[in-house]
A and B are shown apart, each in its own frame.
Chain A
Amino acid sequence: MTEMKVLFFLFVLSALAALIGVYLYRVIRGPTVFDRVLGLNGISTKAIILLVVIGTVYGRVDMFVDISTGYALLNLVAALAIAKYLEERGSA
């Protein structure tokens, strides 16, 4: 991997990390609890992409892709459990 490509992927990494900060603003400020759940979903999407980009930079994509697959499945279970709980509980 040449120097320019490493710089490009570092740029992608820092852009995604900055976007995680933007979503974190919504998670902290969010008026209702549903805003926080949506913000956490966005953060985990960014984290999955971030893992694949880190694997590309280090040349170990085969390992990092497995981690990101597990993270996606874990995120699905957690978010569906929270949504189901909030739906059954009733009041916002």
Chain B
Amino acid sequence: MSLVGIGFILVGLFFVLVAAIGVVRLPDVYTRSHAVGLTDSVGAFFLLLGLALYQGLSTNLVKILVVLVLLYLLNPVITHATVRAALRSGLKPWSKEKP
């Protein structure tokens, strides 16, 4: 069970690394929100699932699963609120041809 957990942790590290590259390289708030909102959530999901499976059958597994569900619900909500605030306050999306 702990070996399966270590495998999940490695998968999660890959996704989190991709999200960090996206945060640095993408050109705009709207495109960066994909890196923070989607890829980072999946990475955190796999990391916390791996850590939960590593604990074995115990109370700690359920506690870490609670944190996982909380994070997986709240991270997209925060990203959505931030991007909606950006759109409502009149920030133009990035486009290839500069005006």
Contacts and interface: CB of A to CB of B under 8 A. Distances in A.
Interface residues of A, number: 45
- Per DSSP, chain B at the interface is helix
Contacts of A38: 23, 29, 32-33, 36, 79, 82
Interface size class of B (residues with CB under 8 A): 35 or more
B81 A80 contact: yes
A2 to B, nearest CB: 10
Given A34-B86, A37-B82, A65-B64, 15 more contacts: A12-B13, A19-B17, A34-B85, A35-B29, A38-B33, A41-B82, A45-B71, A52-B48, A52-B51, A72-B71, A72-B74, A76-B78, A87-B89, A90-B89, A92-B86
